[in-house]
Amino acid sequence: MATVRTEGLTKRYGSVVAVDHLDVEIKEGSLTAVLGPSGCGKTTLLRCIAGLTTPDAGRIYIGDEDVTTLAPSRRNLGMVFQRPSMFPHMTAFDNIAWGLQLRKWPKDKIASRVKEMLRLVQLEGMEDRRFAQLSGGQAQRVVIARALAPAPRLLLLDEPLSSLDAKLRDQLKLEIAEIHRKARCTTILVTHDQAEALTIADNVLLMYNGKIVQEGAPLDVYRYPQTLFSADFIGTNNFLPGRIVAMEGGARVALDGVTAELHVPKPPADMGVGTTVWACIRADDVDIIEEDQRSKHRNVIPVKVERASMTGGTVIIEGRLDSSRLRVHVSGSRRFEYLTMDGKTILCALGPVSLIRREPDELAPKVSGFAPLACE
C-alpha cells in the first residue's frame, strides 16, 4: 500500500515548471530518497506533500485520503528542514514536547514519549540543553525527534544533513536509517547527495527538471541507468559512442573510432541492429588484468595510460583507446603502481556495460571535465 500518492502533480513559478505532472508512489514504511541536482524541484514536491505549497494541478493522497486541499496541520506529518530549526530558547525536552502539548497530550504521557524519543535519537541525558549547547548534529536529531514525537504517518526530511560537516553527515545519515528502522515511519528524504540516497534509502526517485527520470532500489538505479542523465548524475561513467552491429546472445556493439567490439548480454528490449548507443562503463567497474587472464573476461580492451592521479583511496587513470578515452578508478593496495605508468598500455576488463540510446550528434556528458575524444 502506498502511504503517499500523487497524480499529475504540477507546480509552476512563472515560466519554470518546478514539478511537472508527477505521478509518484511512496510505499508504506519505506525510506524513499528524492535525489536530484539543485533546482530540479525536490523541495517543491516535498512542500506540496506537506501542504505548504499549493499545486497548480494534480492530486495528493496520503493513505486513502485525498489531502490536496487539506491544511498542513491536518495532514499528520512531521517535517525537518534544511536549516537547523530547533527552537533556540527552549530545551531539547521542550522542543520535543512542543507538538504533543499542541495536541493536548496529558503531562505524564508527554514526559514518557519525550524520553522514548530521546532514546531513539540517542540524546538521553541531554534533555535540558538548549540549541547553543548542542552540536549541529545533535540539534538536528532534536528536530527529528520533535517531528517524530506525535507519531506522524509520514516524515518529510528536506536535506536535513546539508548544513553539517562531511564526517558528521556520514554518521547522522546512518543514524537516520537506524531511526527509520526502529520507528518504521514512512520517510521521504530529499537530497542532492547520491551517497546519502544510495546508502540509506530503500527506494530512490531520481528527479530532473521537475520530472522523475528513474525510480528503483539503490543498487538498480546505480547499476542500470536508463537515461543519459541517470548515468551521468550517479557515479562516474565513461560514455563511449557506438552502434549495435549484431544481436546474438545479447548485443554486439562496435565502438566509434575504436577497433574493439563490446558484448552486452542484456540490452534494453527496444534496441536492435543499427541502434546508435552510448556504452556506459563506470570508472569503478573496470579491472586491470594481466594478458593470461584475458579469456576469463567478456570485454577486454587495451588502454594506453595518459595520466594517473591520486585522490587518496583511489588512483584515477585517464587512458586512450584509439581515438576514444577511458577513465578508470583503481583501488586496492597495488593502485600506486599506476602512478608511474604514463605511456604504457594496460589491459582493462570492463564490468557491466549499460546501453543508452544516442541521438545523432548528441554530445557525451563530460566525465568530471574529461570527454572522450570521439565526441569532443
Ligand X SMILES: Nc1ncnc2c1ncn2[C@@H]1O[C@H](COP(=O)(O)OP(=O)(O)OP(=O)(O)O)[C@@H](O)[C@H]1O
Considering the rule CB under 6 A, would residue 55 count as an interface residue with ligand X? Answer: no
Query: Under rule CB under 6 A, how many of the chain's residues touch ligand X?
Result: 12
Tell me the window of 12-20, 177-185, 211-219, 324-332 that interacts with ligand X (CB under 6 A): 12-20
Nearest by Cα to 255 from 237, 243, 267: 243
Distance in Å, CB of 124 to ligand X, minimum: 33
Report the greatest alpha carbon distance in the chain.
76
Q: Which of 16, 151, 174, 273 binds ligand X (CB under 6 A)?
A: 16
CA distance 326 to 262: 14
Residues near Mg ion, by CB under 5 A: 43
Mapping DSSP to helix (H, G, I), strand (E, B) and coil, where does residue 305 land?
A: strand
Mapping DSSP to helix (H, G, I), strand (E, B) and coil, where does residue 365 land?
A: coil
Considering the rule CB under 6 A, would residue 54 count as an interface residue with ligand X? Answer: no
Query: Given strand 276-282, what is the order of strands in its sheet?
Result: 261-264, 251-255, 237-247, 276-282, 353-357
Interaction residues for ligand X, span 179-218 (CB under 6 A): 192
Kind plus residue range of the DSSP H or E element containing 116: helix 107-120
Give the residue at shortest CB distance from Mg ion: 43
CA distance 333 to 323: 31
Residue among 12 and 320 whose Cβ is closer to Mg ion: 12
Considering the rule CB under 6 A, would residue 42 count as an interface residue with ligand X? Answer: yes
Distance in Å, CB of 41 to ligand X, minimum: 4
Distance in Å, CB of 13 to ligand X, minimum: 3
Residue among 43 and 237 whose Cβ is closer to Mg ion: 43
Distance in Å, CB of 18 to ligand X, minimum: 3
Residue 265 interacts, among Mg ion, ligand X, none and using kind-specific CB cut-offs from 5 to 8 Å, with none
Distance in Å, CB of 44 to ligand X, minimum: 3
Tell me the window of 35-43, 262-270, 314-322, 350-358 that interacts with ligand X (CB under 6 A): 35-43
The residue with cell 576488463 is 349
Considering the rule CB under 6 A, would residue 44 count as an interface residue with ligand X? Answer: yes
Kind plus residue range of the DSSP H or E element containing 111: helix 107-120
The residue with cell 578515452 is 325
Cell numbers for 231, please give them: 548515468
Backbone angles phi, psi at 4, to 5 degrees: -125, 135
Interface residues with ligand X (CB under 6 A)?
13, 16, 18, 36, 38-44, 192
